[in-house]
Amino acid sequence: MSDFIVIDNQSTRYDTLQKGFNLRFPENGEGADFICICKTAQEVIDAANYALQNGYRLTVRSGGHCYEGFVSNKLSSDGGQLLAIIDLGLMTGMQYSEAGDISSPWDNTVSYCFSAATGNQNWDGYVSLYKLSGKTVPGGSCYSVGSGGHVSGGGYGLLSRLHGLTVDWLSGVDILVPDTSGGSGLVVKHVHLNSTGSDRDLFIACRGGGGGNFGIILNYYYADLPHAPQQAYLLSLSWPWESFGTGEAGKAAFGNLLHTYWKWFADHDGEWNSDDPTLANGGLFTLLKLQHRSTGDVVMTIQYTGLDGTVGGLQDQPFIDFVNTMTASAGVTPYLEEQQVWHGAVQRTLNKKKTLRDPVSDSQLMDWLWLTETINGSGGNMRNKYKSAYHVADFTDVEISALWSYLNISEDVRLNQAWVQMDSYGGCINSNDETSNPTSVYQRSSLLKSQFQLHWNNVSDDDFCMTWLTDLYSAYFSRTRGKPTDEGNGRYQGCYINYPDVDMKYTDMAHTDIDPQWLVLYYGDKASDLVTTKQLVDPDNIFHHEMSIPLSLP
């Protein structure tokens, strides 16, 4: 047996390593019985088989950023079964071959230009790719998110409107799965788009189906990747809540900002790769952070690069037009926000002095790699709750009223890290041909992607914080039973599996009745195929958690 490290309750590291980014978990002290720290693929194979043979349920951790307790929590439905976390965070490394002659240790018949171990974190991956090849993946900006879960759930980030999702580029994976050939334990398979039968289905499931469902991904492979930009603009603007005014007039001004934000992308998203440089806007990524008053102002942060990865000249026009359009819609000139915070609260700055004069001259012109480093913070480990949605249509009066009512209220110290984040979406993402390049991501018509989130430190605030966020979300989606379901209205495309929310699985907050549509909420018309793949690949449901792909449709 290889030398994987076992952390059990006799170790001083045990309490710490039971936990991940979200300190709400494990719940009620019901955490893992031991954690296996693995540095190589062979150690993963040995550790997982050892745990399985000794009756443990397996969960998998790469970067530890799971929003729910899927990795850390024991399940009451398992009847007290012991739990082992297979930790892949030290299984790092990347290979690049311009000749494209990299192959899997488990299949030398297929070759690639890139391979990346599943424990790589985003920032290390971006730096390695850039130094080795000048290429990148269109993935997330939180530096410490691990590839293992991030890629398998879709992989979305600041370059996705320009280059699509990470899974759109994924070409193959090595994955440790149950041996269904009549043997026992777990075996490694290399699967890719040209695989046949259930192996091909398994690969498609790895392209957006989420982590912890079918096995343990060891390595990711790419036949090619997009060129990294050379330069980009970074601009952050803020509107104090007071600038919108009060009462119905204030709500209308706030609503106009939201309407304009959606409309700009609705009008221009199809031009993401236009031959006309004054229209091509795929390199525009925007984050509109609607913060609670006790957190700070309404903040919009923008990264922009041209189709060729540079800025300047005619290709700056989409960026200029977007900024000027948004500024005009608010009816008041925004302040220049000096805090470049993408993944945490942008705290209110007193005595703001500088207002926007010109989008280009007021932006920071930066080398793209250093810009990526500037915005790559993940924030501190806290107690968190998240909810998500994909938005196709414009904001309704009900939605605007919910945001205005819940966010623009008297300050409460318990809500000093609360906001609703509206990210730009679409562009190249929506152009992917799911027939020739199939994935498990069904959200290919959305223009915006939202994340409702709240962070806090004190256990005593759990009930208040969870209730507040749930009430906001329920009010926002009150016309669709409190969830972003399509229901034939074409307004929403469900939720993002990498922003999981256990509440979405149930019809009640007590989590007693399962919603028969919860799987469709995350996977749409891909849900049935994923269930079929689960039946073929993992018929004994070895890999399961609270929201894993089940063996039958709910």
* Number of CB atoms found within 10 A of residue 9's CB: 11
Q: Are residues 428 and 368 in the same domain?
A: yes
Is 479 part of a structural domain of the chain?
yes
In this prediction, residue 375 carries a pLDDT of 81
pLDDT tens by residue, 259-278: 999 999 999 999 999 999 99
Please check whether residues 69 and 121 belong to one and the same domain: no
Has residue 247 been placed in a domain? yes
Q: Are both 221 and 235 inside the same structural domain? A: no
Are 322 and 453 within one domain? Answer: yes
Where does residue 1 rank: exposed (0-12), middle (13-18), buried (19+ CB within 10 A)? exposed
Sign of the alpha-carbon dihedral angle for 311, 312, 315, 319: positive
Task: Report the alpha-carbon distance of residue 304 to residue 281 in Å, rounded.
Answer: 8
**Among all chains, which residue has been given the structure tokens 């985003």?**
122
Residues 245 and 206 in one domain: no
Q: How far is CA 45 from the centre of its chain?
A: 27
Is residue 281 in a domain? yes
Domain annotation covers residue 22: yes
Q: What is the pLDDT of residue 29?
A: 72
Phi, psi of 53, deg, nearest 5: -65, -20
Backbone phi, then psi, for 35, in 5-degree steps? -120, 130
CA 76 vs CA 80, 131, 384, 541, 547: distances in Å: 6, 47, 22, 16, 14
Task: Label residues 205-243 b or e (16+ Cβ within 10 Å = b).
Answer: bbbbbbbbbbbbbbbbbbbebbebbebbbbbbbbbbbeb
Give the start-end residues of each E strand in 76-147: 83-87, 94-96, 102-104, 107-112, 114-117
User: Which helix (H) or strand (E) covers residue 471, if one does?
Assistant: helix 462-476
pLDDT value, residue 349: 65
Question: Which residues lie across from 146 on neighbouring strands?
Answer: 121
DSSP state of 189: E
241 φ/ψ angles, rounded to the nearest 5 degrees:
-55, -35
Q: Which pLDDT belongs to residue 182? A: 81
Whether residues 444 and 478 share a domain: the answer is yes
Q: Phi/psi class of residue 313: alpha, beta or left (left: φ > 0; alpha: ψ in -120 to 50)?
A: left
CA pair distance 64, 74, nearest whole angstrom: 16
Which residue ranges in the chain fall short of pLDDT 50?
A: none
> Could you tell me if residue 550 is inside a domain?
no
Shared-domain flag, residues 219 and 261 = no
Q: What is the pLDDT of residue 353?
A: 73
What pLDDT is stored for residue 486 in this prediction?
Answer: 86
Alpha helices in 348-392 (DSSP H): 368-374
Domain boundary among 191, 211, 228: 228
CATH number at 243 reads 3.40.462.20
The pLDDT of residue 350 is 57
Q: In sequence order, what are the residues at sequence separation of 6 or more whose Cβ sits closer than 8 angstroms to the Cβ of residue 131? A: none
User: What confidence score (pLDDT) does residue 116 get?
Assistant: 97
Residue that is last in its domain, among 505, 524, 545: 505
Indicate whether 113 belongs to any domain.
Answer: yes
* Residues 552/532, Cβ–Cβ less than 8 Å: no
Q: Are residues 142 and 206 in the same domain?
A: yes
Number of domains in the chain: 3
**Residue 527, domain member (yes or no):** no
Range of the domain at 193: 94-228
99 and 53: one domain?
Answer: no
Instruction: Flag whether 152 is in a domain.
Output: yes
Q: Which of 56, 69, 22 is nearest to 511 (CA)?
A: 69
Q: Which of 183, 206, 228 is the last residue of a domain?
A: 228
Residue 82 token pair: 């012991």
pLDDT number for residue 541: 97
Domain shared by 243 and 293, yes or no: yes
Are residues 397 and 457 part of one domain? yes
Q: What pLDDT sits at residue 214?
A: 97
Pairing of strands 216-222, 335-336: unpaired
Residue 190 sits in a domain whose CATH number is 3.30.465.10
Residues 212, 543: contact at Cβ < 8 Å?
Answer: yes
Instruction: Report the first-to-last Cα separation within the chain, whole angstroms.
Output: 40
Residues 81 and 191 in one domain: no
Q: Which tokens go with 238?
A: 């803020």
